[in-house]
Amino acid sequence: MRIKSLPLLIVASFALAFPILLPAAGGGKKETSPAPPSPKSQFLIRLTSTHPNSPASEEEKTRIVMHFDYLKTLLADGKLVLAGISPDDYASLLIVEAGNREEAERILAGDPAVSSNVYQGEVHPFQTVLTRQER
């Protein structure tokens, strides 16, 4: 490296490290792009039977079918991330995306099996840390 090019190298390094201090091309005006929409938060909803030791009545079975249809609607609307059931105690676990906890609570309250007292539910903030990538 020649001595003459050293100052240019220092200036270039400085410009890369601190670009905000140098005027931008186009007269020094900084272009701004619109802020990205705020990401939806995830919530874990745990549903359990309100009376686990009793067989479901015909009305309750109807509400459970309505519950499954409700989950399919949430999935189609992009609100449901995952739904599953634990076969040992029949608790359901849902992961939903909502703007805030109140919206997640409304999703829970809108479930026909919850509103008819077949299931009771809890809402918990949730954050996905790892997920398997599709092959």
HEC per residue, 100-131:
CHHHHHHHHHCCHHHHCCCEEEEEEEECCCCC
Break the chain into its structural domains and give their ranges.
41-126
* Contact present, 39 and 82 (Cβ < 8 Å): no
- Residues 54-103 have pLDDT tens digits of 999 999 999 999 999 999 999 999 999 999 999 998 899 999 999 999 99
Q: What is the pTM of this model?
A: 0.69
For domain 41-126, the CATH class is alpha beta
- Residues 9-28 have pLDDT tens digits of 444 444 444 444 444 444 55
Residue 106 tokens read as 């409304």
DSSP state of 50: S
